[in-house]
C-alpha cells in the first residue's frame, strides 16, 4: 500500500506572480491585456495560465455578492466542541457542509474548533438556523459565538512579494 505524499507547493516565478495578481483583480480580462501587463506573448501567457490551473494553483468560479441576491446578513460563527466522538464530529461537519446558508466551513486550532460563515436574509432567519443547529448538536456544542460582518475591507486577495 502506498501513501499519498503531500504535493510540493509550486514555485512561482515573477511572471506567474504577476499573472496571478492581474487575474485577482479581473479574472475575465482578455489575454492580450494580461500578456501586456506581464510582458509576455499571448501564447506564453495562455500556457502559463493553463499550467497554473492544471497544477491546482488557481481555479475560476463566480462569487455572487450576497446582498445583491437577497442575503444581506453575513455572520461568522465560531463553534467550540465538547465530548465529540469522531462520528459526532463527521455528522456535524456533513450537516454544515450541506446546509444551504453555510458558505464557508473551516476546522481551526485555538479556542474554537470550527468557523463557519452563514449568509441569511435577516436576523430572524439567522436565529432560526442557529437554533436548529445548536439544538440538533447540543450534546457536542460547548460554545457558539456569532459575529456580524458589517463591511468587507479585503477578501481573498494575495500579494506576491
Domain-wise residue ranges, the chain? 14-54, 66-148
Gap between the Cα atoms of 118 and 154, Å rounded: 18
Q: If one looks up domain 14-54 in CATH, what number appears?
A: 1.10.10
How confident is residue 35, by pLDDT bands cut at 50, 70 and 90?
very high
Average of per-residue pLDDT across 105-117: 97
Answer yes or no: same fold for 14-54 and 66-148. no
pLDDT at 3 over 80: no
Gap between the Cα atoms of 141 and 89, Å rounded: 10
The mean-pLDDT minimum among 41-45, 111-115, 124-128, 147-151 falls in 147-151
Average of per-residue pLDDT across 1-23: 75
Neighbours of 28 (CB within 10 A): 7
CA angle 30, 62, 68 (to 5 degrees): 115
Whole-Å CA distances, 135 to 4, 95, 129, 144 = 38, 13, 10, 12
In residues, how long is the chain? Answer: 161
Q: 52 vs 64, which has greater pLDDT?
A: 52
Gap between the Cα atoms of 52 and 102, Å rounded: 29
CATH tag for 66-148 (out of 3.40.718.10, 3.30.70.920, 3.30.420.300, 3.40.1380.10): 3.30.70.920
Q: Can you give the pLDDT at residue 152? A: 80
Amino acid at each position: 500500500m502506498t501513501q499519498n505524499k503531500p504535493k510540493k507547493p509550486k514555485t512561482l516565478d515573477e511572471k506567474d506572480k504577476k499573472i496571478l495578481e492581474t487575474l485577482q483583480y479581473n479574472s475575465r480580462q482578455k489575454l492580450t491585456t494580461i500578456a501586456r501587463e506581464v510582458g509576455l506573448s499571448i501564447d506564453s501567457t495562455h500556457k502559463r495560465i493553463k499550467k497554473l490551473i492544471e497544477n491546482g494553483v488557481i481555479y475560476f468560479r463566480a462569487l455572487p455578492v450576497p446582498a445583491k441576491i437577497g442575503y444581506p446578513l453575513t455572520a461568522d460563527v465560531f463553534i467550540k466542541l465538547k465530548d465529540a466522538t469522531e462520528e459526532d464530529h463527521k455528522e456535524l461537519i456533513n450537516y454544515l457542509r450541506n446546509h444551504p446558508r453555510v458558505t464557508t466551513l473551516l476546522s481551526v486550532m485555538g479556542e474554537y474548533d470550527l468557523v463557519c460563515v452563514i449568509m441569511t436574509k435577516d436576523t430572524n432567519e439567522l436565529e432560526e438556523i442557529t437554533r436548529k443547529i445548536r439544538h440538533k448538536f447540543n450534546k457536542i456544542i460547548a460554545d457558539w459565538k456569532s459575529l456580524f460582518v458589517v463591511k468587507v475591507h479585503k477578501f481573498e486577495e494575495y500579494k506576491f512579494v
